[in-house]
A and B are shown apart, each in its own frame.
Chain A
Amino acid sequence: DGGITQSPKYLFRKEGQNVTLSCEQNLNHDAMYWYRQDPGQGLRLIYYSQIVNDFQKGDIAEGYSVSREKKESFPLTVTSAQKNPTAFYLCASSIGVARDRNTEAFFGQGTRLTVV
């Protein structure tokens, strides 16, 4: 069954702790993205990656880190430097920009992170 999977669905973190959100896809997509969704602010881009071992900062990268060691996986770490981490996090993937032709992004189910 092909798709993009995020885990866990709900995550609670104590202040001062780092936490890692998982994102895995078996669609053979080159591109992967992380977005943060807050009410009234749409989807804001945190990081994106077009190829293994390479990634770029989005508009709100401060306090977050990522890695792309495998094509299928793009984990996001929310560090203690992120001042307001409570949010809904969405991962997405797309075929990529081969021949400079952007394509549809498919989203995971999301992870709701709460700082307690």
Chain B
Amino acid sequence: GENVEQHPSTLSVQEGDSAVIKCTYSDSASNYFPWYKQELGKRPQLIIDIRSNVGEKKDQRIAVTLNKTAKHFSLHITETQPEDSAVYFCAASPPGGKLIFGQGTELSVKP
């Protein structure tokens, strides 16, 4: 079945710097790759997603890239702000509806 590995587990950056979180997946049939942000004590919420027919997607300060050949995808956050501090999860979804998450990255943005 699908397995998703996420790195790093913790990431600390200065406000204004960029942050990059990387994920790899095992099932080449996976075709949907969402990213979720979970603030302390709250539910995970979708911030951006990408489908397998697209290599890159951008939404303001966040972007996601997908390399199907290498089976990895990454989240890029530019001009980080303290409110970006949270736990970020990547996920992969093969046909059939399973949604498998990575282990999470705790991002800390220091003012």
What is the CA–CA distance of A44 and B102 in the complex, to the nearest angstrom?
A: 9
Is B61 on the interface with A (CB-CB < 8 A)?
no
Q: Which residues of A sit under 8 angstroms from B9, Cβ to Cβ?
A: 40
Interface residues on B, range: 20 to 34
Of the listed stretches B67-75, B77-85, B90-98, name the one at the interface; the rest are far from the partner chain.
Answer: B90-98
**A–B Cβ pairs within 8 angstroms, 24 of them:** A40-B103, A42-B89, A42-B103, A43-B44, A43-B89, A43-B91, A43-B101, A44-B101, A45-B100, A59-B100, A92-B99, A94-B99, A96-B97, A97-B97, A100-B31, A101-B32, A102-B31, A102-B32, A102-B93, A102-B97, A105-B34, A105-B99, A107-B43, A109-B42
Seen from chain A, the residues whose Cβ lies within 8 Å of a Cβ on chain B are: 31, 33, 35, 40-45, 48, 50, 56, 58-59, 90, 92, 94, 96-97, 100-105, 107-110
